[in-house]
Chains A and B, each alone.
Chain A
């Protein structure tokens, strides 16, 4: 089920809780961007991630691959 879209008021409250100032001019786009992250990343729920470690995917400095 797709996540419910956050309202600008909810985003402003979240930002305030995190100590961030979001101006009235910025709030509409910041809200769109937060909702796009939630929607755009929703397909990750369908991926087989249960056994995948959440660490950056870096090569070892001496690993030729």
Chain B
């Protein structure tokens, strides 16, 4: 297998090749390190590359296979980790200059579980400051979309989307608060899963919003997401809100059978007035493909959904301001202007308005879960349009109307975070300009297996898996 094909192979396939001694973990790590050396000065997917540590771990992994030891399902597979997760002995910046030298002495639970499954942490992946959209001066380089490097790569698991799309790792561990896995997954043409809040431990994730922060996989195939989710999911005593429910075999759920699956297309997100027509057509074609496989597809109304972005930002910006309260009071200049202004504004919200926002969140949750009693899966675009040009994505001067429109556009992902239900983005096409388009599937609480099954069935009849970014 030539190096590029090896780099783009699914993580599960690489794990199989390692187990069968067809490929060495050392060869895999070197392959990705060479690609990082070649492409990342332009793409800026990584904040830190664990060059020596990953090679050392790869040699140990190679030895384990040679000795015939029992190995985990990700043995020898190089994975990138968002820089929001604590990693033992490997600096963790959370996208900030203030933590540029911080080296944790423990791993986040999700990272521990990846390592226990045999994965090799190749490095830490770029993200906006503190996970907050609106960062203007990226401390570790301006991330670029590998499908067109003049375009935005999404946020906040930005580096994960880039690195998986450009095959700078086999898969990535992302974090999603209001869409931070699904948005970059959509923009970069990869699969990204936000599990149910509580499905994966939050221990060791630098917090953004305690009631929405969720770890999840970013991969080139649905099967890889199923594999990795199965590894990282499950109860953790160090996160009191992590569910004690057993973890299903997500890979086994990918049986390709969606006959009788009830799929609800969210009407308001197709009638918003700002949905790009190519995006609408691609997502409707994907819905038709599911119908062709035997699913029942119908429309569903979620009347408050376009308020989701504003509700989310009120909660998220307030939560982030709380996380950084001391520094915001004492040294606000340490933050990039974008996140600082968001936190300052949220700090001035009347408490009564904040409580009303929480009420509205619950109303939205009830509407979404009510729809999920009538449908097995909800379906909509992951984003209202493909990635914008970087110079247009970064707004220099906001108006009130700009912000409200921006929040409405965020209503494609944030309502499902507010409702604490699982959702994923799966590629469903390319725009005329060659930029990826994502379809979002939303499931019932702890219903990850159902949305993975639907996404996998769709992926199997589409050509999305065969597409690669035109890096040259």
Contact = CB atoms under 8 A, between A and B. Distances in A.
Interface in A8-63: 11, 14-15, 18-23, 25-26, 29-30, 32-41, 43-44, 47-49, 52-59, 61-63
Contacts of A40: 310, 403-404, 407
A52 B304 contact: no
A34 B347 CA distance: 9
B448 to A, nearest CB: 11
A33 B360 CA distance: 20
B163 to A, nearest CB: 31
Given A47-B360, A63-B445, A20 B310 contact: no
A44 B420 contact: no
Q: Is the interface of B mostly helix, strand, loop or mixed?
A: helix
Size class of the A contact interface (CB-based, 8 Å)? 35 or more
B164 interface: no
A17 to B, nearest CB: 9
B447 A57 contact: no
A14 B348 contact: yes
A34 B358 contact: no
Interface stretch (B216-224, B259-267, B349-357, B428-436): B349-357
Interface stretch (B12-20, B336-344, B377-385): B336-344
B183 interface: no
A63 B447 CA distance: 11
B310 A58 contact: no
A37 B332 contact: no
Contacts of B198: 58-59, 61
Given A49-B359, A56-B361, A36 B404 contact: yes
B345 A65 contact: no
B446 A64 contact: yes
A52 B359 contact: yes
B420 A20 contact: no
B400 A44 contact: no
Given A32-B403, A37-B349, A49-B363, A61 B243 contact: yes
B322 interface: no
B22 interface: no
B186 interface: no
Nearest to A29: B341
A58 B197 contact: yes
A8 to B, nearest CB: 12
A58 to B, nearest CB: 5
18 contacts: A14-B348, A18-B347, A20-B328, A26-B344, A29-B341, A29-B397, A41-B353, A41-B356, A52-B360, A52-B362, A53-B362, A54-B355, A55-B362, A56-B211, A57-B418, A59-B196, A59-B420, A61-B198
Given A37-B349, A65-B369, 7 more contacts: A25-B337, A33-B345, A43-B307, A54-B362, A55-B358, A56-B361, A65-B445
Interface of B: 196-198, 211, 235, 240-245, 304, 307, 310-311, 313-314, 328-329, 332-333, 337, 340-342, 344-349, 353, 355-365, 369, 372, 397-400, 403-404, 407, 418-421, 444-447
